[in-house]
């Protein structure tokens, strides 16, 4: 029962993690941006971006924790 619940939570958190990563705005111009002035590379994140970062990290930690619990076989 608990293994099936954690499996579904793991799948849902994986899908949510993919969506959260895709919602992030691009940070720079890639390798070509390294040679430019660089002032735009070190701007602070806005409030929405900061909240999105926090949600992404939280989802990532949950995803990895559930993955370790399920793969270790502690719930047999």
The rounded percent of the chain whose pLDDT value lies above 70 is 76
pLDDT score recorded for residue 40: 54
Among 1-5, 20-24, 26-30, 40-44, where is mean pLDDT lowest?
A: 40-44
pLDDT score recorded for residue 43: 58
Instruction: State yes or no: pLDDT of 9 exceeds 70.
Output: yes
Helices (H), the chain: 2-23, 47-72
Do the beta carbons of residue 64 and residue 40 sit within 8 Å? no
Instruction: State yes or no: pLDDT of 42 exceeds 60.
Output: no
Question: How far is residue 22's CA from residue 59's CA, in Å, rounded to a whole number?
Answer: 14
Instruction: State yes or no: pLDDT of 4 exceeds 80.
Output: yes
């Amino acid at each position: 029962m608990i293994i099936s619940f954690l499996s579904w939570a793991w799948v849902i958190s994986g899908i949510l993690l993919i969506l959260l990563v895709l919602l992030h705005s691009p940070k720079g111009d890639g390798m070509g941006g390294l040679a430019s002035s660089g002032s735009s590379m070190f701007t602070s994140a806005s409030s929405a971006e900061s909240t999105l970062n926090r949600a992404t990290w939280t989802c990532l930690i949950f995803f990895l924790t559930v993955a370790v619990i399920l793969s270790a076989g502690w719930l047999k």
